[in-house]
A = this chain, B = another copy of it.
Amino acid sequence: MTDAGLDAILACDFATVYYLAGRVFDGFVYIPADADPVWFVKRPVHLAGDRVCHIRKPEDIPSALEELGAGLPARLGLEMDLCSYSLVERLKGAFPGAEALNASPALRAARSVKTEEELAQVRLSGAKHVGVYSRIPSLYTTGMTDYELQIAIEYLSRKEGCLGQFRISGSSMELFMGNVICGESADAPSPYDFAMGGKGMDPSLPVGASGEEIRPGCTVMVDVNGNFTGYMTDMTRVYSLGTLPKIALDAHQCSVDIHVEFRRLAVAGASAKALYEMARGMAAERGFEKYFMGHRQQAGFVGHGVGIEINESPVLAPRSRDILEEGNVVALEPKFVIPGVGAVGIENTYIIHSDRAECVTDAPEDIIPLD
């Protein structure tokens, strides 16, 4: 906050509140640079505590601060990248003496370096995530469609304690529980900011399974929700029926090899852009550049931070200026779409340390037969 020139931050996005308060409430978390936080709560009405003030509307906050003996901030950080224009204008109006600045970059940077407690939650989600995926072949029955497999995986995940909620920062994506993408559906260009999306079952939600029967010679890419603790892991594995063409096997191996390089290179101090270039370079060396991160439409990243939300910092992309730090949690997902076959490649979630990248979704990485 001090680096960002802020005297205080006033945050209200649910994910931010959960991060700052350890629980979700409707209201605002107020963090002065030089005093303890205050929770301004609208709902639930019974929330009580030392630094909890109940309010009906944001305009109540300045007088509540004065009653607490706190001064009003000269430079107030607001979540300008997340809160609506109308809300930010309203908050600015409630603090007419303050200069309003954007606190979203500072919050995003803080969220990208996880505490030990947060990392424990990530590891726990990862363990459960791996457990669910290990049972996917047992769900398959002959003649199943990608949709039938997707919803069977969803039910298994929920039985294992998946919270279902898939928190996404901002407005670049919509998703329900994840994607199971089979064959040509992998080449359906998605409107969303995913590595790849799938056709979906309805124009109102063009993502995920499309209702096609899973056939021999196609791949089934599974990338479903790993939110078991409020902190999610992101994981993708590939399954198949029958024999796949060599090009698909080789592209999948390329992805696995990119992960091996990543484990070596992705330590504190590494450049996110350089890691993107490493992955893209390995794909190009082996002749897979035109299938890298999609075919008809290629996604412009190969990895991203995860935590409370699926799309956090750092981002592994061609113009990224991010430098990896200890405590970053990064999902790496070098994927390829092979026309006529489907998507291949794996995704793991890693915790970044000073000397290594720790994989928290440690599971077999080959293409797994469904039959």
Q: Which residues of B contact A172 (CB under 8 A)?
A: 26
New A-B pairs, 7, CB < 8 Å, besides A24-B174, A84-B170: A25-B191, A26-B193, A45-B296, A46-B297, A84-B84, A86-B102, A205-B230
Contact of A80 among B85, B158, B308 (CB under 8 A): B85
Contact of A204 among B24, B80, B176, B189 (CB under 8 A): B24
Which residues from 59 to 114 on chain A have a C-beta closer than 8 Å to any C-beta of chain B?
Answer: 78, 80-89, 102, 104
Measured between alpha carbons, how far is A26 from B202 in the docked complex, in Å? 16
Closest chain B CB from A46 CB (angstroms): 5
Question: Could you name 25 residue pairs across A and B whose Cβ atoms are closer than 8 Å?
Answer: A12-B171, A13-B171, A14-B171, A18-B203, A22-B203, A23-B206, A24-B174, A26-B191, A43-B191, A43-B192, A43-B297, A44-B191, A44-B297, A83-B84, A83-B171, A84-B85, A85-B88, A154-B154, A154-B158, A161-B201, A163-B202, A163-B205, A165-B204, A165-B205, A204-B229
Say yes or no: A84 contacts B171, CB within 8 Å.
yes
Q: Which residues of B contact A82 (CB under 8 A)?
A: 84
CB-CB contacts of A142-176 with B at 8 A, as 1s and 0s? 00000000010011001101011100001110101
A177 CB–B CB distance under 8 Å: yes
Contact of A81 among B45, B84, B204, B206 (CB under 8 A): B84
Measured between alpha carbons, how far is A297 from B25 in the docked complex, in Å? 14
> Which residue of B is nearest A27, CB measured?
B191
Q: Which residues of B contact A25 (CB under 8 A)?
A: 191
| Copies of this chain in its oligomeric complex | 2
Q: Which residues of B contact A203 (CB under 8 A)?
A: 18, 22-24, 230
User: How many chain A residues touch the partner (CB < 8 A)?
Assistant: 57
Binding site for B on A (CB under 8 A): 12-14, 18, 22-26, 43-46, 78, 80-89, 102, 104, 151, 154-155, 158-159, 161, 163-165, 170-172, 174, 176-177, 189-193, 201-206, 229-230, 296-297, 308
Contact of A151 among B43, B89, B159 (CB under 8 A): B159
Q: Which residues of B contact A159 (CB under 8 A)?
A: 151
Q: Is the interface of A mostly helix, strand, loop or mixed?
A: loop
> Which residue of B is nearest A21, CB measured?
B203
Measured between alpha carbons, how far is A251 from B136 in the docked complex, in Å? 46
> Which residue of B is nearest A174, CB measured?
B14
Q: Which residues of B contact A26 (CB under 8 A)?
A: 172, 191-193
Closest chain B CB from A250 CB (angstroms): 27
Q: Which residues of B contact A89 (CB under 8 A)?
A: 80, 85
> Which residue of B is nearest A18, CB measured?
B204
Q: Which residues of B contact A176 (CB under 8 A)?
A: 163-165
Cβ-closest 9 pairs across A and B: A204-B230, A44-B189, A164-B176, A85-B88, A151-B158, A155-B155, A80-B85, A26-B191, A25-B191
Contact of A163 among B84, B86, B154, B201 (CB under 8 A): B201
Measured between alpha carbons, how far is A182 from B258 in the docked complex, in Å? 49
Q: Which residues of B contact A12 (CB under 8 A)?
A: 171
Q: Which residues of B contact A22 (CB under 8 A)?
A: 203
Measured between alpha carbons, how far is A165 from B164 in the docked complex, in Å? 11
Of A46, A83, A104, A155, chain B has the most CB atoms within 10 Å of the CB of A155
Closest chain B CB from A330 CB (angstroms): 21
